A and B are shown apart, each in its own frame.
Chain A
Amino acid sequence: NAGVTQTPKFRILKIGQSMTLQCAQDMNHNYMYWYRQDPGMGLKLIYYSVGAGITDKGEVPNGYNVSRSTTEDFPLRLELAAPSQTSVYFCASTGTSRQQQYFGPGTRLTVT
């Protein structure tokens, strides 16, 4: 099993550009999450999904969108990138809500 995979690993965007961060898991997990981690800060939840077709906002959803058309994939869309979105983005999944979350390796995004 590959676990949770994320692409790209690194990306530099100009202000106002858009991009999609890809996340996939092969563990048949229902729950998937997107977090961002700013330097010296804890992870903050952007969006989550409890199953295909179901998504909901987390603590910091502004400027982002998600979709969950399959169990495996949970892409995160950035529209009109801003410098405040410079961060490391982690995708995670879990089989049930009380189990541990498995994280992908992260995407380091810089917006200039």
Chain B
Amino acid sequence: RKEVEQDPGPFNVPEGATVAFNCTYSNSASQSFFWYRQDCRKEPKLLMSVYSSGNEDGRFTAQLNRASQYISLLIRDSKLSDSATYLCVVNKNQAGTALIFGKGTTLSVSS
């Protein structure tokens, strides 16, 4: 099993759609979890951290299921500007020296 696994997509959705991305991780001792966004040929930028209780930031909702080692990202009311690659990132240890990046899920939102 890969350390962090994501469906690569691409997900092609119309504006206004709701889309969900899934991510699984293999190390049950993983400490913290993030979703990063990466635009084409740009650097990754933090979208949101993921907490055990679930958290929401505007149209974005992240969930973590430690028992299933599963992370999700839900995007509601998709905008054209949401088109990007979404990276699931898992921090394996306290030192932050083991950030493991998934390969990313590509989202394309069309009008």
Contacts and interface: CB of A to CB of B under 8 A. Distances in A.
A104 to B, nearest CB: 6
A60 interface: no
A105 B97 contact: no
Interface string A2-41: 0000000000000000000000000000010101000011
B44 interface: yes
A101 B99 contact: yes
B90 to A, nearest CB: 11
Interface residues of B, number: 24
Interface of A: 31, 33, 35, 40-45, 48, 50, 56, 58, 90, 94, 96-98, 100-101, 103-106
A16 B81 CA distance: 42
B103 A31 contact: no
B4 A58 contact: no
Nearest to B93: A97
B41 to A, nearest CB: 8
A90 B43 contact: yes
Given A42-B87, A48-B97, A98 B32 contact: yes
A21 to B, nearest CB: 14
Interface in B80-98: 87, 91, 94-98
A56 B96 CA distance: 12
B97 to A, nearest CB: 5
A53 to B, nearest CB: 16
Nearest to B91: A98
B45 interface: yes
B4, B94, B97 pick with most chain A CB within 10 angstroms: B97
Contact of A42 (B45, B94, B96, B101): B101
A50 B96 CA distance: 9
